[in-house]
Structures are given as structure tokens and as C-alpha cells.
A and B are shown apart, each in its own frame.
Chain A
Amino acid sequence: MICVNLRASILCLRGALFLSVCAFAQDGAATTNNWPHYGGTQFAWRYSALDQINASNVKRLAPAWQFQTGDYEMGLQSTPIVVDGVLYLVTSRNQLFALDAATGKLIWNYKYPLPRGPVSYGPQNRGVAVGDGKVFMGTYDNYLVAVDTKTGREAWKVNIDDTKQCGCNVTAAPLIAKDKVIVGGSGGDSAHRGYLTAFDMKTGRLAWRFYAIPGPGEKGNETWKGDSWKFGGGAPWMTGSFDPKLNLVYWGMGNAASDLYSGDRDPGTTAGGVNLYTASVVALDADTGKLRWHHQEVPKDVWDFDSAYECVLVDREVRGKMRKLLVHVNKGGFVFVLDRETGEFIKAYPMVELYNWITGITEDGKLVGRKDPVVGAATMICPGATGGKSWNQTAFSPRTGWIYSPAQEACNDLIARKDEPNEGRSFIGGNWISKMPPGKISSGHIDAYDPVTGRRQWTYQYKYWLMASLLTTAGDLVFSGDPEGFFFALDARTGQKLWEFQTGAGNRGSSVTYSVNGRQFIANPSGWGSLAGGMGGFFPEFESRGGSVLTVFALPENSK
């Protein structure tokens, strides 16, 4: 491949026959020495421009240091954040560590006082955000805490909602957009009305709140039957993205509740969506939280097919015109491509083999051939409750121009039942039973796609589900880990496995890469956790091993 820099874009000549324009070199979309945000940068590419470790030398990659958190509950699901040689790591029970990113030496730790009594969605934490000299951490009893990066002491702390009442808490990493820190919450399977809340980074004061469900008098409230909007779910339980130039924050909203039964929330009309803005991607003004546009991927969701996952912001050519896009995997196993300036639907394509909840999606984004669960009888639905992809994230490489996604093939029998909302309590409206269609076996895979056309470039096949995030680098590598404990590197162009290392426990977190004093490191959390037990229904022979360890790799010092 020959690449030529042409102002902001890179023209790539692939052989003699293929001519394709790579992504604009989007300013600041790749990480370099730091890993400053949950998704790498606010564009959520999970791509680093570092290439010291690359496809030709990755075989020599070896552990440089390890850090045992000592907090094994629910494994280690988080994304480390690295700023100027300091690595910030959080465990599922809000134990926060600042480590020397080159050596692993502990700089400080902050132990959040464990709440008394049980908590709604269990202790799970997927990461922190760092900015304005503070580490921002959502807690499992629903506070947002700012900790001084230098001292490890609290700077401010604010309650987001009473966890005992709302049945919600924070499991996601917050997102920083300019002077604000924005945090989503869990609660989408409870009788709860989800929201995003933005706080001023400096003072902790409320900046804005965006409800996933519009209130009376607001546009979209008419897409709810009666009072069902009050407890209709929509909790945005993962982390969004931010485009500084457009000043828009993008976030995926959770499923409608009760999850599997829509009889009490469906107003009977379908024009313009049902149960807005659940199972939707929204674009909000970063300063005010006001809705700029939305796209509802799943109107009247009855499968728990959230839109909560990451929004990957890429600039790509569509039908001869460069567009600012948002690429988003829905839990139902479809990738949605939207114009992120306008919300215009561009394309959707499946990323799993097994899907039957719809037969397809039209060119203007309408779902076709819905298969809704019924009350009191089992309906086989694919993908299953864990989704075609779980919350572990995709990665995008501007070098290949491809998006890399983990996937799992699984189905469930769904049984709907009428459910009454009881504020903050479970509000599922039915159940899932692990079950595969006759002759099919459950499995996992990682695939490379052209994000716009959906054309699959390669597939890495695996016998269990793959539930760790992907990481891709300018070294033309894709990193991830598997439930058996192996952390591995694939060739970003072919999918061929080039290297692996046994970390000692299953992988359910998000690896990152960074550089300190010219040496590139790859840091990988392992320890399983978070719905990992759901795999047992499909793989009775699989035995998970819990843990909570960060393993950091580099090339040996004498062989860089």
C-alpha cells in the first residue's frame, strides 16, 4: 500500500486496481503518549498512533510489570487512563489507584468507603475520567467523586440520585467535554427513568441533566402510553463521545422498561418512534444538554436491545462525499451508521450470523419483520440477552480504514409477562432462557469491517464469547483477551493471531497503550466479571477464574 499525505487527508493506493480514500486524519482522534479518555480520545476510536510495538516485533512482547489490586469482586472491568506517565486504575468496588505507568509503583490509592447494604446493579466499574487535575469516578452507590490527581484526596463529591429509591448507580466511566464531566447511570432494567447528568469539573455543581424520556409537554412524551414514561427505563449505562468541533456530545440510550413487555407503554402509534428516546443514539449540545438530533434504532424495544454502547466518530467517504459519521453497534447485533452532524441514517448491517428478531433494516432505517416475544410462551430470539456484542468496545484504525468488533453468537427463549412498575425495583416484564436453535452452537468472533459498507474483511473465530474490548494501533495490531485468560494480538490486516500471553484470569476489561520516555506499553486488565456467568448457560464445561490484575507489556529494553 502506498499512502500519500494530501493536506488533511491521506490518499491510499492499494495495488494498482483499488483506489480508496482513507479517513481524514481527524485531529486528535488517535491517542499518542497518553490514553486520556475512556475510548482513547473523545472520538472513541480506541486507536493509538504508537507503532514501536508492531506486527513484525510483537512476538517479543513481554510483561514489564503487574499490579494486583487485591479487590477481586466482579473482576477488573475497567479501562485504565494514562496521563503524563501516571496510570489511573479503578476496581469494581471503587478502589482507585494511581501508578507510575513505567514501573507500576503505587503513587497513591483512594479507597471509597463501601456503602452499607446491597446495591442495585452490584459493584461494577468500567473506568474513570481525568481532567482539571482530578480523577472523576462514579460510585456504586451513585455518587460522582472528584479526587485530586496529585494527592489522591477528595476534591468534591455529589450524589446523583438516591440509589435506594431509583434502583440505579454508576457503572460507566464519565466523559469529559470541555469544562464538564458527564455521567450516565444504570437502572434500565428497573422501574426508573434514565438520564445523563453533567457537572462542572471544577466545582462539582450541576450543569445540566438530559432525561432519556421526555416529560409531559416535551416532544416525544406522546410516544409513551399513560404514565409509563415515569418508569420507562432508557438508562444510558455506558460512556458517550464528544466532537469538539461540532460541540456535540453523543450518547447511546438504554432499553425501554419493562424490558420484554410493551403492552403498558406502547401508545399504539409508530410514526416518529415509540418510547423515545430509549434504544436511541442522541446528540446533545455540550454546553446545555439540549437535544440536537436523535435516531431511534429500536422503536418499541421488547428484546432488551439497548443502544447503550459506544459511539465511534469517524470521517469517511460515503457515495463520493466525505461525511462526519457515527458508527454504533446496537445490542441486537446490527451496526448503525449515522451522519453525526444531522443524525441522518446512512446504513445498517448485521455483525452476527444469528439474528431473527428482525429480518432486516430498510435503506431508510426501518426495522422489517419484527419477531416480538409473547406473553406466557417461549419465543426463540437471536441474539440473546448479552447481545450480538456486549459492552466491551470496538476499535477503529485509520490505517486500514476498518472497524474491529467483538461478537457472540447466542440465542434465548424469551417469555414476556405483564409487570407492574415499583420504583427502583426490577422491571423486566419477562425472562430469558439460554437456548440455541437446533444444530447451532454458540461461539464468539472478532471481525474487521469497512464501517460504511459493512463489508467483512476478516474473521477471528473463537469457541467461547469474546468479552474484552479491542485495541488497535499504528503497529497494525488488534489486541484483545479471551475468557480463558489469554491476552493476544492479531494482525490488523489479516486477523491472524501473532502473539498471546496467559494473564491468569478471564478478560472482561479494556486494554490501552501509552508511552513513557520513548517506551511503548500495553496495559491489560484481567479478572473476568460482569455477566460473565451468563456464558455458563451455553458452555457448561467452561470454568471461569476470577481475579483482578493489570498486566503491562513492552518490548524488552534491549530489543526495541
Chain B
Amino acid sequence: MRAALLMLVAAGLASAQGVQELVTQGAEVYAKSCATGYCHGVKGAVGGAPRLASRGFDETYIMTVTRMGVKGTAMQAFGTILPRRDLMAVVAYVATLNGIATPNLGRGMPAAEAPRRLLPADAAKGRELFFEAVRGFARCSTCHALDGLGIAITTPIANIPASVAALRELATPAVKTATGQGESFPALVLTQGARETKVYDLTLPPPVMRVFPPGALKIADGSAWKHSSVIASYRDAELASILSFLKAVAVPAP
């Protein structure tokens, strides 16, 4: 009873009917996110991934694995994917597959979600553009990581250009010219040591991390590389939205 009460309090539900509703909702979430033949199968009975039914799992274990995923497997961290209520619901449902008729979700519960950062409309549009898959490699996130996504080729965005024109014509003193082994290309130097020289070749997106024997590359300041050419697929209005996004989420330089 106490366990049930804890759960109800935790779930913010008012009655035992709420438990049933949660389990029913969990069955829905399960069917959509977990039940494919490739994964855990219908009712967790059989599939490509481990069986979930009748395994003696308790709520804490189910919650932990569901939230955190299993490293090195296809089991994702659903804590970052599902809304909190869906997460609790699916845990409750899987608990019932393990003979726990009245799941107690008081233990192992995720802390209340931080209120999702609500971006102003223009910044939200900018976020979409920053990561927009249909642009292929001609998108910001090919070289910049931000807000949990993207490839961190360069240092985190800290200084936000004041205008679209400044964003296009961004000074990029870190881009050098590497020459050696019969070629010359714009490069971001990663390491230049006794063992090897490691650079990003910026000839065209995506950047390629390349390794050369020590001394094989001559690195010189300056480059013909232009920020404007790799962001050429964006129109001015789109870049303005991207700037709004950057202002909303980028951590400013100290």
C-alpha cells in the first residue's frame, strides 16, 4: 500500500485507477519504442534483444536501464528520449511483465525534468537550420557541436558574430596552410609532435582528420579557406535565425 502510495505521489496521480492508466500508457509506449522484432518483441517475450518478461527485474533496475541505456549495445538511454511520463509509464509496464502488479516508481525515479528550454521562434528556426539534415555536409553541425548534437571539429562557439555579414566573413586565424607530400591544403592543426602531425584537412566538408609523419607537413599561417564558402547554402535570413539560436544557447566566452 505504502509502495503504491509512493508511486502515486511520484507520478502525481490521484487513484489506483491512475496506476492502471499508467500501465496502459506504458503498453502503448512499449509497443512503439521497444516491441519490434529486432528489439524486445511483443510483451517482452522474444526478440533480437534480451527477453524482458519474467526475468525477476524490479522497478529500480528497469528504471535505471531504461533511463541510462546499456553502453555498447543498441539499448539507448531513453531518459533522454522519452518524456518523463512516458518513461515512467513504460517502466511500470515492463514491471508488470515481471509480475509486479502495482509498480513502485518511488525509487530510481528521474529528478523532475528541467523545464525544457523554450527557444524564441526565430531561435528555434535557427536550431533547425543549424542541424538540417537535408543540407548534407553543408550545415553548421558538420563542424560545430552545440546543444548536445553536432561534430566538434573546432572549439565551442563562444564569440557570436554581431551580424550576418560578420558571420559570413568570420576571421579564422586558426586555419593554416599545410604543405607536404605533393599537396597543399587548408588545415586546422590538432597536434604537431615528435611522433606525428595530426590535422583536419578542410579542403571541402566534411573535415578529414589526417595523420602525417613528423616533419612531413609544413604549416604556415594564413589560408585561402573562407567561412563564407562552407556556409554558402544558407540565405541571409536563415543565418539571422542561426544567430538568434547561437545567442540563445551558446556559452559566452569568459
Contact = CB atoms under 8 A, between A and B. Distances in A.
A230 B133 contact: yes
A118 B75 contact: yes
Given A162-B151, A533-B47, A385 B37 contact: yes
A431 B36 contact: yes
Interface string B107-151: 000000000000000000000000101101100011000001111
A157 interface: yes
A114 B72 contact: yes
B201 interface: yes
B208 interface: yes
B38 A203 contact: no
Nearest to A93: B72
Given A203-B210, A205-B201, A117 B38 contact: no
Contacts of B209: 154, 156-158, 204
A212 B185 CA distance: 31
A121 B150 CA distance: 19
Interface residues of B, number: 49
A322 interface: no
B37 A534 contact: yes
Contacts of B211: 153-156
A162 B37 contact: no
Interface stretch (A13-21, A398-406, A421-429): A421-429
Contact of B74 (A93, A116, A120, A166): A120
Given A159-B151, A533-B47, A534-B48, A165 B32 contact: no
B106 interface: no
B208 A158 contact: yes
B206 A206 contact: yes
A193 B42 contact: no
Interface string A101-125: 0000000000000101111111100
A536 interface: yes
A199 B142 CA distance: 16
Q: Which of B45, B203, B208 has the most CB of A within 10 A?
A: B208
A412 to B, nearest CB: 7
B41 A118 contact: no
Given A118-B75, A162-B151, A206 B47 contact: no
Contacts of A85: none
B210 A123 contact: no
Contacts of B50: 533
A531 interface: yes
A290 B95 CA distance: 52
Given A165-B149, A209-B136, A533-B48, A432 B206 contact: no
A152 interface: no
Contacts of A120: 74, 76
B208 A230 contact: no
Contact of A164 (B47, B48, B70, B148): B148
Contacts of A123: 72-73
A155 B210 contact: yes
A378 B74 CA distance: 27
A399 B1 CA distance: 75
A205 B208 contact: yes
A201 to B, nearest CB: 12
A536 B35 CA distance: 15
Contact of A215 (B32, B49, B73, B134): B134
B49 A117 contact: no
Interface in B206-244: 206-211
A531 B74 CA distance: 12
Interface in A199-228: 199, 203-206, 209, 215
B189 interface: no
Given A73-B72, A118-B76, A423 B133 contact: yes
A109 to B, nearest CB: 17
Contacts of A189: 36, 38
A426 B42 contact: no
Nearest to A116: B71
Given A120-B76, A536-B51, 8 more contacts: A73-B73, A93-B72, A157-B208, A158-B207, A165-B133, A204-B209, A426-B36, A533-B47
